[in-house]
């Protein structure tokens, strides 16, 4: 897999994230939680933005970013327009970060041992893509179940 292919996949799914958040008919429904649904669509969106901004933007692209993981899950009522703006910024940051990498970086060690062991940039990007897709699916279900 090439950087170009990975970039295309992230661009596609970040655009899907924007569309999912924009599709909520009532802004307050972004923040609903119910029994057996621990995270709201809004919080999952904040988490994806924080996760990708930190691991791709900051660590791979050298963008300045300070992550507030607690806020990703505890913050509430961030305006939908602000979420969409943050997703648009994320899109640019992720694309610039990945396009700034040479193909050889995919086989080089990622600078952090996120799971307690060394892994390559390529391995970690595949992990991040799976993580992103997992939460994107949760947001889709959250919206379809609770945006009434």
For residue range 45-75, what is the model confidence (pLDDT) as tens digits? 999 999 999 999 999 999 999 999 999 999 9
pLDDT score, position 35: 92
| Residues of the chain under the 70 pLDDT cut | none
pLDDT score, position 148: 84
CA dihedral 6, 98, 118, 1 (to 10 degrees): 30
- What is this structure's pTM? 0.96
Domain edges within the chain: 3-146
| Phi, psi (rounded to 5 degrees) for 38 | -75, -30
Identify the CATH assignment for 3-146 out of 1.20.120.450, 3.50.50.60, 3.90.1170.50, 1.20.1440.230: 1.20.120.450
The answer to whether 59 and 98 have CB atoms below 8 angstroms apart is: no
**140: which 2 tokens?**
């889709």
The answer to whether 93 and 56 have CB atoms below 8 angstroms apart is: yes
The mean of the pLDDT values for the chain is 97
pLDDT score, position 60: 97
pLDDT score, position 1: 86
CA proximity to 39, closest of 69, 74, 85: 74
Q: What is the CB-side half-sphere exposure of residue 135 using CA atoms within 13 A?
A: 25
Beta bridge partners of 120: 109
Beta bridge partners of 37: 34
């Amino acid at each position: 897999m090439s950087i170009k292919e990975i970039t295309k996949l992230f661009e596609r799914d970040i655009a899907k994230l924007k569309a999912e958040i924009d599709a909520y008919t009532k802004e307050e429904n972004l923040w609903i939680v119910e029994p057996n649904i621990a995270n709201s669509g809004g919080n999952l969106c904040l988490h994806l933005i924080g996760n990708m901004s930190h691991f791709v933007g900051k660590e791979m692209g050298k963008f300045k970013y300070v992550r507030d993981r607690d806020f990703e899950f505890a913050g509430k009522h961030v305006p939908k327009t602000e979420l969409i703006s943050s997703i648009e910024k994320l899109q640019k940051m992720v694309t610039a970060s990945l396009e700034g990498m040479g193909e050889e970086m995919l086989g080089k060690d990622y600078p952090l041992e996120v799971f307690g062991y060394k892994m390559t940039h390529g391995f970690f990007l595949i992990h991040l893509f799976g993580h992103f897709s997992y939460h994107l699916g949760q947001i889709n279900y959250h919206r379809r179940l609770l945006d009434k």
